[in-house]
Structure 1
Amino acid sequence: MPAPSVAIVGAGAIGLAIGSAFARAGSAILLCGGRTPVESITIVEDGAAQTWSATHVDAPAELGDIDVMVIAVKAYATDAVADWLRAGADAGATILVAQNGVEQVARVAPHIGDAEAIPAIVYLNVERTAPGTATMRRVGEHDIALPAAGSGAALAEILTAGGMRTNAAEDFLEVLWTKMMINCAGNSLTALTRRRAPVLLDPAIADVARQITREVAAVARAEGADVSPEQADAVVAWLQAAAPANNTSSMREDVMAGRPIEHDALTGAVVRVAAKHGVDVPVNTVILALLGALRPEEA
C-alpha cells in the first residue's frame, strides 16, 4: 500500500505521535481544526527532536481527497468532531480511531455511514508540550496495535515503515481488553491520587490495582476475550516495572490541567459491559463513582 494522504483530527499527544509515523513513511499530513493553527509536527524522543511539515485545515469543507482519517480526540469529544468524521467518510477515507476504551468503532459509527473504521490501541507514553510538539517515550513491546482484519494489516505495515513497533493482531479482542486493564488501573489510580506511575509501587495501591484488573479480566472473558486472572496480575507487574521511569497518564494530566477526563470510556465501559453479562465489579463501580466526583478545576 503506498503512503496514504492522512488527516489528523485531534493534534494532541497521540495524534502527533501517529501523524509523525505516517509522515516518516512518506504521507502528506493534514492537521484538522483546533484553536491554534499548526503547520508542522515535532516529536522529541530520547532528547532528539525531529520535525515534519503539515498543512493546517480550518474546516471540514476544506478537507479534499484523503485516504486515512485519524481520530485522536478524547472519547468524550467524538460527537464534537462529527462534521470532520462525515467529511472523512464522504472522501472515502478509512477512519483510524485512536481512542481509549473498547467502544471505538461504535462511538464513530453514527457519523461515518459505510466507511471502514479501524480501532487502534496506543501504548506510547506521549506528552504534548506545545502546539505541534510532543515528547514521546516507548514502553513495552509495541507502540500501537491494530486488528489484522480489514485495512488494519495494511495500515500496520505503513506505521511500521514509519518507525512504529506495530502489532497487527489476529486476536484483537484479547489485545483490546488487556489494554483496558492497563488503562483502568494505571489511569484511574494516577488520576485519583494525582501522582505519577511510581504510586503503583505502593503495596496498598498495587493491591487495589490488582482488584481492578481482575474484575476487568472477568468482564473480558464474558465478552469472549481470552484473558486470564494471571494476565490481570501480570498487567500490574508490568505497570510497576515501568513505574521508575516516572511516566504519567493521560487521565492524570487532564486532571492536573483542569480538563474533563475519560472515565466513562474506560471504567464506565467496564461497568456497562459487566451489567450486560451479570458480572460483579464492585471495585470498578467504586472507582467510577470516585472518578465521576473529581472536579479537575480543583486540581
Structure 2
Amino acid sequence: MTATAADPVAVVGAGAVGSTLAAGLAEAGHPVVVCGGTPLDAITLTDHRGTHRYPVRWAERPGDLPQVRWVLLATKIHQTPSVLSWLSALAGPDSHVIAAQNGVDHRDRLSPVVDGAVAPALVYINAERTAPGTVRARFTERELVLPDDEAGRAAASLFGDTWVRAEVVADFRTAAWRKLLTNATANPITALTGRRIEVLRESVVAELATGVLREAVAVGRAEGATLPDECVEQTLRWLQDLQPGSTSSMLQDRLAGRALEYEGLTGTIVRLADRHAVPVPANRALLALLSALEPGSGRSG
C-alpha cells in the first residue's frame, strides 16, 4: 500500500508526539482527524521554522468515524488499553496502524488486537506539548525510523511528502533497542530529578546513566540486538548533545500529574533481564523509585 496526499489519517493520542506528526501530515495536505480527548480544531506547532497552525477535525467517539486506511497511534504504552475501542473501530483488514510508541515489542502488543497491519515507528523528534493542540518540536539528525518490510515501507510512504524524514532499517530489533537505550536513560533520570536533559551533563548523573546503559545493553544483546560496547558512550553523548531545553515525555507527565510510562521502559529492561538472568541493579533501583512516585501502583518485589 502506498499513501496518497488525499488519504485521511486518524490520530489516536494527540499528545506531544501525536500532535507533532499530525502537524506534518496536515501540512502535506492529509485530512487529519484527532480521536477523543480534548476537542481540537487545529494544531499549533513551533519549530526552527517558526510557528504554524494546521486545521484538523475532531471525533468525540469511535462510532463517529468509518474505518480508515491510516491510523497513527501515539499514546504512551500504558495508555493503549484505553484506546482499543478506537483501534477496533478505525482499523480494518486493509488498514495500517503506525505505532509511534516507545518500547521494543510494538507488534507483540498490538497485533492481537488490531485488524490490519502494524508498523512500529521510533520517533526521535524531541516534542513538548505546552497546551492541548500546541506543541514545540526540537529536531535531531533523524525523525522517524520504521522496519524495512511491507508495513514499514507503506508507513514511510505516508510521510513521503512531509518534513518528517521517515527511514526504513533492515535490523529493526537493534534499532528499537538503541531507541530504548535513550528512553530508559533520559526518561527516568529527568522525571526523578525534575530537571531537563541538561542534568545528564553533570558528572555524577552521567556516571549513573552509564551504569544504566551498560545494563540495558547486556539485556538487549541477550534479546538478539546488535549492540557494541561503544553504543553506551554514543547514546550518552547523543543525549548530552541535544538542544538546550530538551525534555522527556516522562518529565512532562510527572510535572502534569499524569501516570508515568516506566513499566514500558525501565520495567521492560528489568523483566527481560530476569528472563535472561542478567543483573541490572541500577535499572532495578530506578524502577523502584519510579513506582514510589505513584503510591498504590501495585508493584511489589
**Per-residue CA shift, 1:10-42, capped at 9, x if unaligned?**
1111111111222233211111011x2112222
The one-letter code of the counterpart of 1:49 is T
Report the 3-state secondary structure (helix = DSSP H, G, I; strand = E; otherwise coil) of the residue aligned with 1:161.
coil
| Contact 1:120 1:146 survives alignment (8 Å) | yes
1:225 equivalent in structure 2: 225
**Per-residue CA shift, 1:54-113, capped at 9, x if unaligned?**
111111112114111111111111001010011122373211111111122222233214
Tell me the distance in 1 between the aligned counterparts of 2:79 and 2:184.
Answer: 19
Tell me the distance in 2 between the aligned counterparts of 1:213 and 1:239.
Answer: 12
1:152 equivalent in structure 2: 152
1:144-293 equivalent positions in 2, closer than 5 A: 144-242=144-242, 245-293=244-292
Report the 3-state secondary structure (helix = DSSP H, G, I; strand = E; otherwise coil) of the residue aligned with 1:252.
helix
Shift of residue 282, structure 1, vs aligned partner: 1.4
The one-letter code of the counterpart of 1:123 is Y
1:133 equivalent in structure 2: 134
The one-letter code of the counterpart of 1:178 is R
The one-letter code of the counterpart of 1:23 is A
The one-letter code of the counterpart of 1:251 is M
2:21 equivalent in structure 1: 18
| Contact 2:69 2:91 survives alignment (8 Å) | no
Q: Give ranges in structure 2 of 5+ residues lacking alignment.
A: 296-301
Shift of residue 177, structure 1, vs aligned partner: 0.4
Tell me the distance in 2 between the aligned counterparts of 1:182 and 1:73.
Answer: 18
The one-letter code of the counterpart of 1:284 is N
| Contact 2:67 2:91 survives alignment (8 Å) | no
1:29 equivalent in structure 2: 32
The one-letter code of the counterpart of 2:19 is L
1:86 equivalent in structure 2: 88
| Contact 1:42 1:133 survives alignment (8 Å) | yes
Identity of aligned residues (%): 38
1:6 equivalent in structure 2: 9
RMSD (CA atoms): 1.6
Tell me the distance in 2 between the aligned counterparts of 1:157 and 1:94.
Answer: 12
Tell me the distance in 2 between the aligned counterparts of 1:41 and 1:248.
Answer: 20
Shift of residue 246, structure 1, vs aligned partner: 2.2
Match of 2:70 among 68, 76, 86: 68
Tell me the distance in 1 between the aligned counterparts of 2:130 and 2:24.
Answer: 18
TM-score w.r.t. the length of structure 1 is 0.93
Tell me the distance in 2 between the aligned counterparts of 1:240 and 1:125.
Answer: 13
- Displaced runs of 4 or more, over 3 A: none
| Contact 1:88 1:95 survives alignment (8 Å) | no
Shift of residue 295, structure 1, vs aligned partner: 3.8
| Contact 1:20 1:162 survives alignment (8 Å) | no
Aligned residue pairs, count: 292
Shift of residue 195, structure 1, vs aligned partner: 0.8
Report the 3-state secondary structure (helix = DSSP H, G, I; strand = E; otherwise coil) of the residue aligned with 2:278.
coil
The one-letter code of the counterpart of 2:166 is T
Tell me the distance in 2 between the aligned counterparts of 1:218 and 1:225.
Answer: 10
Tell me the distance in 2 between the aligned counterparts of 1:144 and 1:250.
Answer: 17
Report the 3-state secondary structure (helix = DSSP H, G, I; strand = E; otherwise coil) of the residue aligned with 1:200.
helix
| Contact 1:214 1:233 survives alignment (8 Å) | no
2:119 equivalent in structure 1: 118
| Contact 1:8 1:69 survives alignment (8 Å) | yes
**Per-residue CA shift, 1:200-229, capped at 9, x if unaligned?**
111111011011111111111111111112
The one-letter code of the counterpart of 2:36 is G
| Contact 2:68 2:92 survives alignment (8 Å) | no
Shift of residue 158, structure 1, vs aligned partner: 2.9
Tell me the distance in 1 between the aligned counterparts of 2:151 and 2:32.
Answer: 19
| Contact 1:70 1:98 survives alignment (8 Å) | yes
Tell me the distance in 1 between the aligned counterparts of 2:56 and 2:67.
Answer: 15
Q: Give ranges in structure 1 of 5+ residues lacking alignment.
A: none
Tell me the distance in 2 between the aligned counterparts of 1:187 and 1:164.
Answer: 23
Shift of residue 147, structure 1, vs aligned partner: 0.8
Report the 3-state secondary structure (helix = DSSP H, G, I; strand = E; otherwise coil) of the residue aligned with 1:254.
helix
| Contact 2:67 2:89 survives alignment (8 Å) | no
Hey, which of these two has a bigger chunk of helix by percent?
A: 1
